[in-house]
Amino acid sequence: VTAALDIGGSETRAALVEDGRVRWRAAAATPAERRPEAVLDAALELLEPKQGRFTRLGVAVTGRVVAGRAYPLNERTLPGWRGFDLKEALEARTGLPIAVLNDARAAAYGEACYGAGRGISEFLFITVSTGVGAGLVLGGRLHLAASGLDAELGFTLLRASFDEVLTPLSAPSYRLPERAPLRPLELEASGTALDTYAQAYGWGGARELADRAEGGDARADAVYTRAAGAVTEKIADLAVLLGITRVALGGGVGLRPGYLARVRAALAALPEVYRPEIVPARLGADAGLIGAALYAEDTCS
Ligand code: BMX
């Protein structure tokens, strides 16, 4: 039996995984200060009841991972982690073999082996959640780069010119630069970005914005559809660049049927070569846990 942890900006999850299935799971909010030691304490506390039941541990963590160290690109998500040696810290605390990979790569691996990507040789998983993350399967194998930049989709760049979306709709408090500079995709299209735009309209957050958009509110739909469109453009590029034939959408925003419908609609406007199949992720929040466990089984002898 392999244990798994999934450490995200807002939630930390734990599980026991066997043959690609979650046998037991627990979750808790990631401690507010999110410092590494506090987060590890909370994560291991979740696994406490199952001490002795597992012989290795796979860890999915948001951020770039290089040789077991975590380097969040968006430091607001996990402040104070830059280069924290997650593998060494957990090996010291548990005495067990530890394998660490990025959370979206872990989810992509889980979906590729047991979910929406099963049997697909060129597969892309995208999570639209706190950030925008992704994982690639190429030639049937999970893509892991030495630099750890192995599908950091949220940090691909776009020229964010919102003039055509927000100005005519006169968002009361959102001041946009005249000629928006190049910006990371996730600053325009993540759950956190949608929270920001929702608040510019006096709405609660991303969930309310999506509800309004799906309920026909034109202002909400303009923001929601543009965010989905920005992700769709990246899907189109990856289809012709890497021969991606299927894309699974996951994460709190990505799993919404209304979001998937908007991605499909934007893609339908493009020629065939830019149009991989777009499907919902199948393993939901378990994907990262299952993928982390699989990765530990592959790498921890
Ligand atoms: C960010 C980046 C990715 C991560 C993605 C989704 C950080 C801390 N994380 O783009 O590594 O995969 O968010 O992360 O820079 P999630 O926490 O939203 O699942």
| Structure confidence by residue, pLDDT tens digits, 249-286 | 999 999 999 999 999 999 999 999 999 999 999 999 99
Residue 9: predicted pLDDT: 84
Ligand 1 atom nearest residue 78's Cα: 8
* pLDDT at residue 296 tops 90: yes
Ligand 1 atom nearest residue 155's Cα: 10
Residue whose CA is closest, atom 11 of ligand 1? 63
> 235-249 pLDDT, tens per residue?
999 999 999 999 999
Average pLDDT over residues 84-107: 98
Residue 108: predicted pLDDT: 98
Residue 187: predicted pLDDT: 87
Per-residue pLDDT band at 5 (split at 50, 70, 90) = very high
Ligand 1 atom nearest residue 184's Cα: 10
- The answer, yes or no, to whether any atom of ligand 1 lies below 6 A from the CB of 129, is yes
- The answer, yes or no, to whether any atom of ligand 1 lies below 6 A from the CB of 232, is no
Q: Is the pTM of this model over 0.85?
A: yes
Cα of 169 to ligand 1 centre, how many Å?
Answer: 30
Residue 299: predicted pLDDT: 84
* pLDDT at residue 176 tops 80: no
- The answer, yes or no, to whether any atom of ligand 1 lies below 6 A from the CB of 133, is yes
Could you tell me which residue, 9 or 41, shows the higher pLDDT? 41
- The answer, yes or no, to whether any atom of ligand 1 lies below 6 A from the CB of 288, is no
Average pLDDT over residues 27-41: 94
Percent of the chain, pLDDT > 90? 85
- The answer, yes or no, to whether any atom of ligand 1 lies below 6 A from the CB of 131, is yes
* pLDDT at residue 169 tops 70: no
Least confident of 135-149, 165-179, 267-281: 165-179
> 41-91 pLDDT, tens per residue?
999 999 999 999 999 999 999 999 999 999 999 888 899 999 999 999 999
Average pLDDT over residues 146-154: 97
* pLDDT at residue 166 tops 60: no
Residue 173: predicted pLDDT: 41
Cα of 153 to ligand 1 centre, how many Å?
Answer: 9
Burial 164-185 (b: 16+ CB within 10 A, else e): ebbeeeebeebeeeeeeeeebb
Ligand 1 atom nearest residue 186's Cα: 10
The overall average pLDDT reported for the chain is 92
- The answer, yes or no, to whether any atom of ligand 1 lies below 6 A from the CB of 184, is no
Cα of 249 to ligand 1 centre, how many Å?
Answer: 15
* pLDDT at residue 161 tops 70: no
Residue 61: predicted pLDDT: 98
Per-residue pLDDT band at 164 (split at 50, 70, 90) = very low
- The answer, yes or no, to whether any atom of ligand 1 lies below 6 A from the CB of 192, is no
Least confident of 37-46, 116-125, 174-183: 174-183
Ligand 1 atom nearest residue 63's Cα: 11
Ligand 1 site-directed mutation target among 11, 69, 74, 186, most atoms within 8 Å of CB = 74
Residue 76: predicted pLDDT: 85
Cα of 183 to ligand 1 centre, how many Å?
Answer: 16
Residue whose CA is closest, atom 5 of ligand 1? 133
